[in-house]
């Protein structure tokens, strides 16, 4: 079932002349804005990978924009039951950031980059309406819930990526010429597994290349031209 958040983002990306939920061949497109086909994807990008590849192949006169919203802040609205009218609310302690995009890009490297494909990642604040689940998680009752809806509160910074080099801008400054994921994690102050997903994605799209190992860690480097631009 479509969430309020999805409907609101379709309106956010549409202009006065746009078509919403437009049929195009075997596909239904969220927003058609001029010659741009816009797909808004809340779940894994792997779910639309084949669709996007097919759109790029079958409609060469169109640009394709994939919108992957990332939840920066979430207000939890807790209902006592599904159809209750009153809710208690609190802010989730979890915060999202642009690096969360790599959780999804690892499944999208067979499609991106492409000269007619762009990815936008808006950081959004949302309300998430929940009600109790089915009692299956007795040891973790705080996690026993169903999501009724998500609603948009605000749209913050919107990050746009058209090339592999654009993704490379998310790497930290002043990396060693040969670096491993530990260097990335330390400089960005993130967990090592997040840095590993970054490195996997950036290697597969061609932003960095693997050049050896240091112990059990793979070593990477930027191609010379990109290294010069990064340090400029």
In this structure, what token pair is assigned to residue 95? 């915060």
Tell whether the model's pLDDT for residue 50 goes beyond 70: yes
Domains and CATH numbers, the chain: 4-162 (no CATH), 169-231 (1.10.10.10)
Q: Could you count the other beta carbons within 10 Å of the beta carbon of residue 149? A: 15
Note whether 188 and 195 are within 8 A (CB).
yes
Q: Distance between CA atoms of 24 and 55, rounded to whole angstroms?
A: 9
* pTM attached to this predicted model: 0.89
Q: pLDDT digits over 158-174, tens only?
A: 999 999 999 999 999 98
- Contacts (Cβ under 8 Å, ≥6 apart) of 22: 28, 29, 31, 32
Note whether 132 and 94 are within 8 A (CB).
no
Q: pLDDT digits over 110-154, tens only?
A: 999 999 999 999 999 999 998 887 655 444 455 677 899 999 999
Note whether 132 and 145 are within 8 A (CB).
yes
> Is the pLDDT higher at 141 or at 221?
221
Residue 147: which region, alpha, beta or left (left: phi > 0; alpha: psi -120 to 50)?
Answer: beta
Q: Which helix (H) or strand (E) holds 9?
A: helix 4-13
């Amino acid at each position: 079932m479509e969430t309020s958040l999805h409907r609101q983002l379709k309106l956010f990306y549409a202009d006065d002349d746009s078509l919403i939920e437009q049929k195009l061949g075997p596909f239904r497109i969220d927003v058609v804005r001029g010659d741009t086909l816009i797909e808004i994807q809340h779940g894994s990008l792997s779910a639309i990978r084949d669709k996007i590849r097919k759109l790029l192949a079958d409609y060469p006169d169109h640009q394709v924009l994939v919108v992957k919203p990332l939840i920066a802040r979430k207000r939890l609205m807790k209902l006592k039951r599904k159809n209750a009218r009153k809710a208690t609310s609190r802010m989730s302690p979890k915060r999202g950031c642009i690096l969360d995009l790599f959780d999804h890009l690892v499944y999208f490297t067979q499609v991106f980059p492409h000269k007619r494909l762009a990815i936008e990642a808006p950081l959004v604040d949302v309300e998430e309406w929940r009600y109790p689940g089915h009692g299956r998680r007795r040891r973790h009752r705080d996690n026993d819930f169903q999501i009724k809806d998500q609603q948009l509160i605000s749209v913050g910074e919107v990050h746009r990526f058209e090339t592999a080099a654009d993704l490379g801008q998310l790497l930290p400054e002043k990396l060693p010429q040969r670096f491993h994921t530990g260097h990335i994690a330390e400089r960005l102050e993130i967990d090592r597994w997040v840095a590993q997903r970054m490195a996997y994605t950036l290697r597969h799209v061609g932003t960095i290349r693997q050049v050896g190992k240091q112990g059990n860690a793979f070593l990477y480097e930027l191609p010379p031209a990109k290294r010069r631009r990064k340090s400029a």
